[in-house]
Amino acid sequence: MALNDKQRPLPSAELVEDLEPRFEPSSELLAWARSTFIGDDAPLHNPEHGHLLDASIGILWTNVEHAKNGRRIVGQCELGTPRAMGKWAKARAEQQITEWFGEVPDFILTFHAHYAGQVDDASFCALVEHELYHAAQDVDAFGMPKFRQNGLPAFVIRGHDVEEFVGVVRRYGSEATGVQRMVDAANARPEVARADIAHACGTCHLKVV
């Protein structure tokens, strides 16, 4: 596979250079992400994002530095509806989100502008897909996709496929610890391109299902 021929959108120079904390919605980056990974005819189409075809997604650039547990965070995926807030705080947050996107979307993806402006295409694609993988459709007790009463998918934030200690895998093996698929994927040739994905994801530090 080849990367999308269309040059990926970049944050504005004004945002990158601004010393004041800023968040800037990007319909261009959303359109690029859909046309690169989600659409049926996307050059890097990933069927695992199929539930996002009709999902409402908002994307933000930010110049705000963020770190957690000593690691720099350059991307994050959240559910669009604010949670764990008082009534007024939630209303204020929803007003701001609506001013950005025209609605409260199903998911909000945020990317660090400085990182995006410096990283290569493959690494940026890896970051965007990492966040898209967090934007998941919920499943029932039998592993079947869940839907809301209006027939649309029920969305959640998804955790990683693999959560295991290296020592446990070393002692008991990849099959016993349920990580064989990850080992097989790691040993195979990359489907898209080799990328540096040493970045940190803010979503990974949030409570996920």
For the chain, the structural domain boundaries read 13-201
The span from the CA of 106 to the CA of 137, in Å, is 11
Residue 2's pLDDT is what?
Answer: 44
Chain-centroid distance, C-alpha 177: 26
Residue 196's pLDDT is what?
Answer: 59
Which residues in the chain land under pLDDT 70?
1-6, 162-168, 171-172, 176-177, 194-209
- State the greatest distance between any 2 C-alpha atoms of the chain, in Å, as a whole number: 53
CB atoms closer than 10 angstroms to residue 103: 12
Residue 27's pLDDT is what?
Answer: 97
The span from the CA of 14 to the CA of 63, in Å, is 10
The span from the CA of 31 to the CA of 64, in Å, is 23
The span from the CA of 136 to the CA of 154, in Å, is 9
Residue with token string 């509806």: 81
